[in-house]
Amino acid sequence: MLQIQSVWSPSNLEATQFSLPPLTCELPPRRRLRHYLVGLPEDTQLAIDRLHLLHYAERFEWTRAVQIPQNGIVINSNYPGEVLRYLRRDVRINAGDESG
């Protein structure tokens, strides 16, 4: 019969213990930035896919396609079947950039 015994000395235990730095809950100030894509559904999806490949935004962050009525919303539709896709991002502000 084979028996394996593990022995930990107190000096080894002290060497493996460490303390974490205190957590802070303060987040840097942010401003909201909005992206709008208007176009045919396949074109807006292609733009979203490209932004995803560039690691700019995840696909799921965009809204679903919103049909633009013939009379438009605030943005006039140039072609029948165009949709609107929307992404809202929060942009970090550096301490000296709070103007605007």
Q: Specify the pLDDT at position 37.
A: 92
Q: Which pLDDT tens digit goes with each residue over 71-93?
A: 766 666 778 889 889 998 887 77
Are the CB atoms for 67 and 77 separated by under 8 Å?
Answer: no
Burial of residue 61 (CB within 10 Å: 0-12, 13-18, 19+) is middle
Rounded to two decimals, the pTM is 0.54
* Cα–Cα distance, 67 to 45 (Å, whole number): 14
Per-residue confidence at 69, pLDDT binned at 50, 70, 90?
Answer: confident
Is residue 95 scored above 80 in pLDDT? no
Best CA proximity match to 82, nearest among 24, 37, 26: 37
The per-residue pLDDT for range 43-59, each reduced to its tens digit, is: 999 999 999 999 888 99
